[in-house]
Copies of this chain bind each other. A is one copy, B any other.
Amino acid sequence: MIKQKGLLFILSGPSGVGKGTVRKEIFARKPDLKYSISMTTRERRKGEREGIDYYYKTREEFETLIKQNKLLEYAEYVNNYYGTPREFVEKQLTDGYDVFLEIEVQGALQVKKNFPEGVFIFLLPPSLEELKNRIMHRGTESLELVRNRLNEAKNEINMMDAYDYVVVNDDVRHAASKVQSIIQSEHLKRERVAYQYKKLLEVE
């Protein structure tokens, strides 16, 4: 029995772009996809559940996992650690399931180092698109405003370079559908499928 390994999809982008909303929309459609639950040292809030919202760890436990290289990525925000447990991701992939991460840009760049074969999707705020349309069709903005916007856009573009795909979050349903297209078409890439068939033929 030949089992194809799952693929790791990483949805990331600047904060405030709506990553969580797009991720929720995708999972509301019940895709054949495992969501990787993050680990954190922050306190459990009312209504949150262990292993569903987060895996909750003490600071000592978290730092031990960092030292043991058991996190695909981690970061510290407001004195708390947040990270992605490597073991869950690798187990699911080996079992043939796709895994979906929704993380910050810095985390995504760490995952890229640890797991370059992941499929990296950059969620872009619609403002760049709007900006683009404005510059192209109007040309009436003050020079300084245009320049500031272009600088923001440039920073975003620099972050983009490590990614495989760029999706503009102009509408959460459109963006979710585009991410789903990416997930489907990645499975149709010849190098993945041909490998599977070639393995099969070696059986002869």
Q: How far is the CA of A1 from the CA of B166 in the complex (A)?
A: 21
| Number of A interface residues in the complex (CB < 8 A) | 39
Q: Is the CB of B203 within 8 A of A135?
A: yes
**In the complex, which residue of chain B has the Cβ closest to the Cβ of A132?**
B200
Does A153 lie at the interface of the complex (its beta carbon under 8 Å from any beta carbon of B)? yes
Using Cβ atoms and an 8 Å threshold, which residues of chain B touch A180? 181
Tell me whether A150 is interfacial, beta carbon within 8 Å: yes
Q: Is A189 an interface residue (CB 8 A)?
A: yes
Q: Please, which residue of chain B has its CB at the minimum distance from the CB of A120?
A: B190
Bound form: Cα–Cα A189–B198 in Å: 27
A164 neighbours in B (Cβ, 8 Å): 189-190
Complex Cα distance A167/B141, Å? 47
Taking a contact as CB atoms under 8 Å apart, the answer to whether A166 and B190 are in contact is yes
The verdict on A157 contacting chain B, using a C-beta distance below 8 Å, is: yes
Take A1-B136, A2-B136 as given contacts and tell me if A188 and B197 are in contact as well, using a CB distance cutoff of 8 Å.
Answer: no
| Residues of B close to A188: CB separation below 8 A | 165-167, 178, 181-182
Residues of A within 8 A of B (CB): 1-2, 122, 128, 132, 135-137, 146-147, 150, 153-154, 157, 160-161, 163-167, 178, 180-182, 184-186, 188-190, 193-194, 197-198, 200-201, 203-204
